[in-house]
Chain A
């Protein structure tokens, strides 16, 4: 009886311990490499203002003129609302030309990332995630 109880207790303990890695599935570090910052320049072609996360699509041209669309994930809509950021404002600011995107690159998708800072053509920016040191590293 004692042994059984101990096994049950161990199983419960093990289940609890196993819970931790699972979270990585849906965390920022689980999907994006937070040890790296990738920078691209391009034009914003579309913004999906949706939950659970907003996506900003940035068309990046290479030297040969070929366009690759990057998919940049950012905060949920309610975070943006409280930060005072609207889709219209981003689109309006982005009309002036190319934006610069600092992001954590996705682990798997080579053209996706999680937004740290979006810098508009005129030089002002929205820094919405991470720290200054992650922009300059």
Chain B
């Protein structure tokens, strides 16, 4: 039988092969407001004159669009993309030095066992994706995430404070922010070596440095990330940028408990992993 994989399937789970990775984590926003119209709105500014990035910008996976028909719940096929949903976004791939390609392949082939994010581990930077919810004050910004693996947060000084010293590495590292004109530049260091840069064995070293750039224009937020790890990468990796549209009718939510079913389910062969 000829099968048609609906856009909705891709929307809801992605991971139908390479196309779908592309599917799982987001893309040009199909938000309620078209990005161009949203970008044309005035950019809100904080008391210090800098753009105010506060808002709900992104939702990692939106799921299928459903509606109630009587007492039933049915999928709405061919529904327009959910506000803030990420579809058909491909972050791109870092270029490893040739001597590390074998290691990437080895990790990729055994991803189901060795990828920490498949076992409820924190995704790390930049894998966690663009900011989901931002709270900005004069001294710092707070970025909140509702991820499949749980809620994560980053507390980032923007008042000139330097990186903290003498702290342990963490999955989402230690960030400091500074303004370059209307762009907030985040410098992220001290990222735990255990995390990956993305699917498919994209390992990094403890010397990973990520620079994120956040630019608000009207009700849009551009997210850029540059990944530097010269020990293993041939060149800095520029993650495919994203332009997010402010989500007016959404709020960050508490994530459900993530339970690592990998060990039990691998034994029976129905481990579906943690689609990212």
A binds B: yes
- The reply to whether B61 and A23 form a contact with Cβ atoms under 8 Å apart is no
> Residue among B70, B75, B199, B270 with the most chain A CB within 10 A?
B270
Partner of A78, one of B6, B18, B63, B199: B63
Interface residues of A in 5-37 (CB under 8 A from B): 7-8, 11-12, 15-16, 18-32, 34-35
Partner of A109, one of B61, B95, B270: B270
Q: What is the 8 Å Cβ interface bit string for chain B, positions 101-112, against chain A (1 contact, 0 not)?
A: 100110011011
- The reply to whether A22 and B20 form a contact with Cβ atoms under 8 Å apart is no
Residue of B whose beta carbon sits closest to that of A77: B256
Is A137 an interface residue when CB atoms closer than 8 A count as contact?
yes
* Bound complex: CA A18 to CA B148 (Å): 26
Is A91 an interface residue when CB atoms closer than 8 A count as contact?
no
Is B15 an interface residue when CB atoms closer than 8 A count as contact?
yes
Q: What is the 8 Å Cβ interface bit string for chain B, positions 256-275, against chain A (1 contact, 0 not)?
A: 11110100000011111111
- The reply to whether A23 and B73 form a contact with Cβ atoms under 8 Å apart is no
Interface residues of B in 1-54 (CB under 8 A from A): 1, 3-4, 6, 9, 12-18, 20-21
Partner of B63, one of A31, A73, A75: A75
Interface residues on A, range: 35 or more
How many residue pairs bridge A and B at CB < 8 Å? 184
Q: What is the 8 Å Cβ interface bit string for chain B, positions 90-133, against chain A (1 contact, 0 not)?
A: 00010110100100110011011000001010000000000000
Tell me the count of chain B residues lying within 8 A, CB to CB, of chain A: 62
- The reply to whether B275 and A128 form a contact with Cβ atoms under 8 Å apart is no
* Bound complex: CA A58 to CA B255 (Å): 25
Given that A51-B149, A78-B146, A127-B73 are known contacts, is A25 also in contact with B64, CB under 8 Å in the complex?
no
Given that A25-B273, A51-B148 are known contacts, is A129 also in contact with B64, CB under 8 Å in the complex?
yes
Q: Contacts of B268 on A, CB cut-off 8 Å?
A: 106, 108-109, 112
Partner of A24, one of B17, B68, B105: B17
Q: Contacts of B149 on A, CB cut-off 8 Å?
A: 51-52
- The reply to whether B1 and A19 form a contact with Cβ atoms under 8 Å apart is no
* CB of B3 to closest CB in A, whole Å: 7
Partner of A126, one of B73, B105, B275: B73
* Bound complex: CA A21 to CA B9 (Å): 18
Is A63 an interface residue when CB atoms closer than 8 A count as contact?
no
* CB of B199 to closest CB in A, whole Å: 7
Q: Contacts of A52 on B, CB cut-off 8 Å?
A: 120, 148-149, 258, 272-275
- The reply to whether B255 and A51 form a contact with Cβ atoms under 8 Å apart is yes
Q: Contacts of B138 on A, CB cut-off 8 Å?
A: none
* Bound complex: CA A108 to CA B32 (Å): 41
Is B200 an interface residue when CB atoms closer than 8 A count as contact?
yes
Interface residues of A in 29-61 (CB under 8 A from B): 29-32, 34-35, 48-53, 55
Partner of B255, one of A23, A78, A82: A78
Q: Contacts of B71 on A, CB cut-off 8 Å?
A: 122, 124
- The reply to whether B17 and A20 form a contact with Cβ atoms under 8 Å apart is yes
* CB of A131 to closest CB in B, whole Å: 6
* CB of A93 to closest CB in B, whole Å: 8
User: Given A80-B63, A83-B64, A124-B71, list of 7 further CB < 8 A pairs?
Assistant: A15-B101, A26-B274, A28-B15, A50-B258, A78-B63, A79-B62, A129-B64
Task: Give residues in A with beta carbon < 8 Å to B.
Answer: 7-8, 11-12, 15-16, 18-32, 34-35, 48-53, 55, 71, 73, 75-85, 106-109, 112, 114, 122, 124-131, 137
Task: Give residues in B with beta carbon < 8 Å to A.
Answer: 1, 3-4, 6, 9, 12-18, 20-21, 61-64, 66, 68, 70-75, 77, 82, 93, 95-96, 98, 101, 104-105, 108-109, 111-112, 118, 120, 146, 148-150, 199-200, 253, 255-259, 261, 268-275
